[in-house]
Amino acid sequence: MQNFECDYLEGAHPLIMERLAATNMEKTPGYTEDCYCEEARRKIRQACGCPDAEVYFLVGGTQTNATVIDALLRPYEGVVATETGHINQHEAGAIEAGGHKVLPVPHREGKMEAGMLSRYLKNFFADEAYAHMVNPGMVYLSHPTEYGTLYTRSELEAIAAVCKEYRLPLFLDGARLGYGLAAEETDVTLETIASVCDVFYIGGTKVGALFGEAVVFPRPGIVKQFFTIVKRHGALLAKGRLLGIQFDTLFTDGLYLDISRHAIKMAARLRQALTERGYTFFIRPQTNQLFVSLPMEKVDELSRKVRFSVWEKHENHTAVVRFATSWATRPEDIDELISLL
Amino acid sequence: MQNFECDYLEGAHPLIMERLAATNMEKTPGYTEDCYCEEARRKIRQACGCPDAEVYFLVGGTQTNATVIDALLRPYEGVVATETGHINQHEAGAIEAGGHKVLPVPHREGKMEAGMLSRYLKNFFADEAYAHMVNPGMVYLSHPTEYGTLYTRSELEAIAAVCKEYRLPLFLDGARLGYGLAAEETDVTLETIASVCDVFYIGGTKVGALFGEAVVFPRPGIVKQFFTIVKRHGALLAKGRLLGIQFDTLFTDGLYLDISRHAIKMAARLRQALTERGYTFFIRPQTNQLFVSLPMEKVDELSRKVRFSVWEKHENHTAVVRFATSWATRPEDIDELISLL
Amino acid sequence: MQNFECDYLEGAHPLIMERLAATNMEKTPGYTEDCYCEEARRKIRQACGCPDAEVYFLVGGTQTNATVIDALLRPYEGVVATETGHINQHEAGAIEAGGHKVLPVPHREGKMEAGMLSRYLKNFFADEAYAHMVNPGMVYLSHPTEYGTLYTRSELEAIAAVCKEYRLPLFLDGARLGYGLAAEETDVTLETIASVCDVFYIGGTKVGALFGEAVVFPRPGIVKQFFTIVKRHGALLAKGRLLGIQFDTLFTDGLYLDISRHAIKMAARLRQALTERGYTFFIRPQTNQLFVSLPMEKVDELSRKVRFSVWEKHENHTAVVRFATSWATRPEDIDELISLL
Amino acid sequence: MQNFECDYLEGAHPLIMERLAATNMEKTPGYTEDCYCEEARRKIRQACGCPDAEVYFLVGGTQTNATVIDALLRPYEGVVATETGHINQHEAGAIEAGGHKVLPVPHREGKMEAGMLSRYLKNFFADEAYAHMVNPGMVYLSHPTEYGTLYTRSELEAIAAVCKEYRLPLFLDGARLGYGLAAEETDVTLETIASVCDVFYIGGTKVGALFGEAVVFPRPGIVKQFFTIVKRHGALLAKGRLLGIQFDTLFTDGLYLDISRHAIKMAARLRQALTERGYTFFIRPQTNQLFVSLPMEKVDELSRKVRFSVWEKHENHTAVVRFATSWATRPEDIDELISLL
């Protein structure tokens, strides 16, 4: 049965598997202090246009979010995120486990708006009782968002300007960053992101790697001893080179963007077919995730033929379902899915 | 200048001050293990109709909320509260400091509705991804609420029934409990509360004491070694008898309810005057807090003559202000305020 | 039965009780933002010789230790303390509740030695694996120590010099500070302490107050928004003036030192009697706590006549017991105890 | 240059690499809910002789220790471990990050003694002040220990008996478990461990896997919703099958024990050569780690020819160094090392 449930169904891109096999019996220092990590860091710095960036490799998204946020906040501070932000919903309280509140703000199609953020912060600090409340200490965005939507360059710059006004670090969760950078209609590049964010990560798990997220601090010195904070979070991989090798491969000859573009093409093909068949998108598709509104009976029927995610069930007997493509989706998979629609 | 900013402006009821003075040079064991605490426990058990209740004395509300919630939740659980709940707004992240998420739900005039809670819990556990999310582990109510409103007995029973269905302990924040019990139109007694809640506290700080909150577990054995958890939260008072003496006094000859009734009478007098003068209540007053909607210019004018709290500023140049009475409000204070309106 | 179990058996010094009674019905802002707190801050700054010091008032010792340490440490840091340090033993894990490890080092009679500290830090940072370990982030001392012993001025300066070398803030727990400052053979003054420490507190609970600890940051700006951190720890007293009034009284006309000296005199009287009767001190007495080694049968006999603390039981059927005097000890109490020895 | 610094220098056993490659493009559900994990669980249950055991797969040791300990302890409890325990030294405060104190006890050659543990617990609960202290809530052992030493079956049973007496769960850190089970002189089997422990883990990272630790609760029901606790700790691998495939391979045809035995043989060969050359062992070698005492000048000389770990530097110009073999050590590596000694 075809499966479009998510973008982490398969293992890794074959080039990664080859290099892991080729280097398997080498002996290297642990804890991401090996030459492969160093090389991956060099390539990531170059791709970001930030020769001094600090780059760290962690294993998964939730642990990366928890570690970065814990590193940036002071005890009395929380992290501003949209209500739909991954950290506010599907991380089982990993942020709160570090002692910090997620400060939820409204979203539009999964996105935070600079104007809303500015009003929120202005009102917060205008409140007489603000010293009795969790203070906004940083801002968290996802790009692409949890709904697969994208910020434009000017939207990101506007948010960054608000953050700068209030001296709040801006953190971008790039678990699916490749699919954002490879989107057809985006004007956001890796360099854009490095220029507007104080810290962000480049997702590997969902974009071609077995696992791995590369945390980038474009301007060094923001966090002291992040290495030890990573260790404290149980997020330091003993055989760290596994991360170095994967990111080195992804950032060699543009592989990361290439495979991301492939997922976007597969999504475009599916989008066109869905449109032609008259399906309604819950949210206009921009990346590799397609959110479609369906009557519940259609959901039941389809789910006997193909796997996908049911995102939200509404009172009126409709549901929002998600189809996700990835670097690994084959044209014939899409064709088969289309034939089932 | 008259001051109606809150209900903790003065010290303690004179009877409490007398007893503190009379016992001042006695030597007693520390940490609430003295005879006065024992006597206060006895009287509170009796007033609750729970001869086996466990009763602990803490110093303040935020610390009590943080300690009780920490004691009841498992690491993967959060506490369900209305968005307006004190723990979600004005406790500077004390709950999150203990590693737990506040799970906010909508409110109606500060109150949680059993039907809404039931739907929320049903939807939560119906979500395929619920094991990736903070699980509801208990329910938090305030009575009176942060808006001075009151649950009816049947509303509390309905919420308790939902809690029981999902095996969630029900915790009631009674920082202003006296003013709720003494309200004119309530059918809720201390015994009602003890019968529907798994744990609650009887507020002293805002109802006649210098400080102090009495935590009651009506049915013993729910939490192991709560004493040590209190200590871990820095909430164990060395000279614990100060708490015992205060609650013993408050629960002797019905003092707690008597002084609460006085505050309610003072509020009623003020309410009538405000009504007569055509002021609009933001929320129908039920206890000692009156929330009034005023044009901003009226707010500015009044604030030159009397102190009160500005609760919310709205876009349309109006504000919600709060006048609070207390056990210490004198009729002449109210008269003076009325003359200024 | 006479009771020498600890130095917090009674209420407060009568002058404090008088002022609490006299101000009882005044209306003041909450949360230590009243005029009494302001006046107490002024007097404490003066007594410390630090006109710019930041002064905060908290309720109890454990909460003060947990709050200050949480405010000063970064996530990957711990607090260096002697094994016998209060934070390492009798605070039910309040420091760890904030996510921080206590890094225990050896003691001599309850004291930390500068040389030992220096070697410890040198070895720590010389360890190749130090980035995998909790980093020393501050140093905690008690003065008097948990054994009633005292640092000399030069000992404190030597420790402070080591701290400065490693850029570690020095925090002094002064829960019994008065008894240290009033000791016969000390050369340490409040100004000494303010000059060597980055933060310390002046204990009220054990030295004449009902409760209360005054946290002093001699040089401002070390911690941002300490007020909110205090709130987050549930350590912000609603009726904060109770703390202000107490410390204002203690720091008026030298009351704090006067009553401390009284406790020292009472201890000296007891010490002499114990010496004359041939009792062996476990630790040479310097302040208001006397630790005496006794055979277990003597302990059993004495404990039928008078209350004291059994500190340690040793394998060889002896025990260390503690007699504590305080500001409230009367000469006749000492005489009665002596007659029972 | 030969390298004996640790037992995680290489990637994974070739059979694991083969299976990862063979399954790479399969689509499976995430989060260890796939068929490979299920099969690995089945084989581990069988190997442990515990048909009902709960088995979870995590990525690394520190995160496993932090997650298990957080799951088992109540807020007021800590974990008893030897001073040398990995959780007390080299995990950057991951346990304290979860709010829990490590309660250090003395060790003998890295091991905890049942008699010492029993006395420690007896004394703890005999202390009048125990309710003011972190309560022992579980016991943590490493097998092999951090010094490569081994418990005998009767030693483990004696410790388990003490734990049972005090109702403390016993947790065994098996990061190097294979090397313990494959030791020449041990009478401890996987079934022994499953019978004495309440929870333990089977280390993959150091014994043939790329990464991965298999947590086993031999008797189910001890922890509710461990899955969500794993997620909260950022320890849930998205492509969970990577763990399932690795453990399935390791537990097929006895591979785990076979490759462990190989490491032991390599260590024995090295041990014999060291003995013949007159080197002194700091601790009698039992597993794959050899701790040798050397004069500092010998350390300097050797370190120019081969890589190893310097464990401790002593005042008398000697050092303890560690040579570690592993599943990947080749006979010719040992021969080369021997030729350099």
Same domain as C279, residue C176: no
Q: How far is CA D317 from CA D89, D295, D310, in A?
A: 24, 6, 13
Minimum distance, in Å, between the CA of residue B204 and any CA atom of chain C: 11
- Partner D contacted by A25 (CB < 8 A): yes
Q: Would the pLDDT of C315 be above 90? A: no
Query: How many CB pairs below 8 A link B and C?
Result: 141
Residue B208: which region, alpha, beta or left (left: phi > 0; alpha: psi -120 to 50)? left
Q: What is the pLDDT of residue D312?
A: 86
Last residue of a domain, one of B211, B228, B254: B254
Same domain as B218, residue B321: no
Distance (Å, rounded) from C-alpha B102 to C-alpha B62? Answer: 14
- Partner D contacted by B92 (CB < 8 A): no
Q: What is the CATH number of the domain that holds D315?
A: 3.90.1150.10
Same domain as A310, residue A167: no
Residue B67's domain spans which residues? 14-254
The residue of B31, B74, B103, B125 whose CB has the most chain D CBs within 10 angstroms, and thus the best one to mutate to test that interface, is: B74
Same domain as A261, residue A151: no
Residues of D in contact with C84 (CB under 8 A): none
- Partner B contacted by C29 (CB < 8 A): yes
CB A92 within 8 A of CB A62: yes
Q: Quick one: tokens of D226? A: 């461990």
Q: What is the CATH number of the domain that holds A162?
A: 3.40.640.10
Last residue of a domain, one of A250, A275, A296: A250
State whether B102 and A99 contact (CB < 8 Å): no
Residues of B in contact with D230 (CB under 8 A): none
pLDDT digits (tens, 9 = 90+) for C38-79: 999 999 999 999 999 999 999 999 999 999 999 999 999 999
Q: Name the residue facing C135 among A75, A134, A225 (closest C-beta).
A: A225
Which chains pack against A, by 3+ Cβ pairs within 8 A?
B, C, D
Same domain as D178, residue D147: yes
Same domain as D194, residue D106: yes
Residues of C in contact with B30 (CB under 8 A): 6, 8-9
- Partner C contacted by A103 (CB < 8 A): no
Helix axes C255-276, C241-250, angle to 10 degrees: 70
State whether A128 and B101 contact (CB < 8 Å): no
The CA-CA-CA angle for residues B302, B305, B307, to 5°, reads 80
Q: What is the pLDDT of residue C316?
A: 86
State whether C75 and A75 contact (CB < 8 Å): no
For residue A316, what are the contacts with CB-CB under 8 A and spacing of at least 6? none
Give the ipTM of the model, two decimals please.
0.97
pLDDT digits (tens, 9 = 90+) for B263-317: 999 999 999 999 999 999 999 999 999 999 999 999 999 999 999 999 888 888 9
Q: Would the pLDDT of A314 be above 90? A: no
* Alpha helix segments (H runs only) across A112-152: 114-126
CB C173 within 8 A of CB C111: no
- Partner D contacted by C128 (CB < 8 A): yes
Which of B265, B239, B306 shows the shortest CA–CA distance to B57? Answer: B239
Collect the ranges in chain D with pLDDT lower than 50.
none
Strands A135-142 and B306-307: unpaired
Last residue of a domain, one of D250, D272, D289: D250
Q: Would the pLDDT of C280 be above 90? A: yes
Same domain as A198, residue A323: no
- Partner A contacted by B76 (CB < 8 A): yes
Helix and strand element counts for chain A (H, E): 14, 13
Residues of D in contact with B231 (CB under 8 A): 76, 131-132
pLDDT digits (tens, 9 = 90+) for A194-240: 999 999 999 999 999 999 999 999 999 999 999 999 999 999 999 99
Q: State mean pLDDT over B120-128.
A: 94
Q: State mean pLDDT over A76-91.
A: 97
Q: Name the residue facing B90 among A90, A104, A129 (closest C-beta).
A: A129
Confidence tier at B150 by pLDDT (50, 70, 90): very high
Task: Give contacts of D 237-256 with A, CB under 8 A.
Answer: 237-239, 242
Same domain as A234, residue A137: yes
- Partner C contacted by D90 (CB < 8 A): yes
Minimum distance, in Å, between the CA of residue C10 and any CA atom of chain B: 5
Residue A170: phi, psi to the nearest 5? -105, 125
Distance (Å, rounded) from C-alpha D150 to C-alpha D145? Answer: 7
Residues of A in contact with C232 (CB under 8 A): 75-76, 134
Same domain as A149, residue A33: yes
- Partner A contacted by C277 (CB < 8 A): no
CB C102 within 8 A of CB C95: yes
Q: Name the residue facing D92 among C90, C97, C133 (closest C-beta).
A: C133
Of A163 and C128, more confident: A163
Minimum distance, in Å, between the CA of residue D31 and any CA atom of chain B: 10
The residue of C124, C133, C134, C322 whose CB has the most chain D CBs within 10 angstroms, and thus the best one to mutate to test that interface, is: C134
Which of C185, D266, C210 shows the shortest CA–CA distance to B210? Answer: C210
The residue of C33, C69, C74 whose CB has the most chain A CBs within 10 angstroms, and thus the best one to mutate to test that interface, is: C74
Residues of C in contact with B210 (CB under 8 A): 239, 242
- How confident is the prediction for chain C on average, in pLDDT? 97
- Partner D contacted by A1 (CB < 8 A): no
Strands C318-324 and C309-313: antiparallel
Same domain as D167, residue D99: yes
State how many domains chain A has.
Answer: 2
State whether D10 and A30 contact (CB < 8 Å): no
Confidence tier at C312 by pLDDT (50, 70, 90): confident
3-state secondary structure of A183: coil
For residue D142, what are the contacts with CB-CB under 8 A and spacing of at least 6? D85, D86, D110, D172, D173, D174, D175, D176
- Partner B contacted by D277 (CB < 8 A): no
Q: State mean pLDDT over A141-156.
A: 98
3-state secondary structure of D66: helix
* Residue environment code for A209-224, b if the CB has 16+ CB neighbours within 10 A, otherwise e: bbbbbbbbbbeeeebe
Q: What is the pLDDT of residue C136?
A: 98
Same domain as C326, residue C218: no
Q: State mean pLDDT over C129-140.
A: 97
Q: How far is CA B229 from CA C307, D99, D188, in A?
A: 27, 12, 39
Q: Would the pLDDT of C313 be above 90? A: no
Strands A306-307 and A2-3: parallel
- How confident is the prediction for chain A on average, in pLDDT? 97
Same domain as B263, residue B203: no
Helix (H) or strand (E) holding C146: none
Task: Give contacts of C 180-239 with B, CB under 8 A.
Answer: 205-206, 210-211, 228-229, 231-239
pLDDT digits (tens, 9 = 90+) for C180-220: 999 999 999 999 999 999 999 999 999 999 999 999 999 99
For residue B165, what are the contacts with CB-CB under 8 A and spacing of at least 6? B118, B121
Q: Quick one: tokens of D336? A: 């080369």
Task: Tell me the residue type at A155.
Answer: E
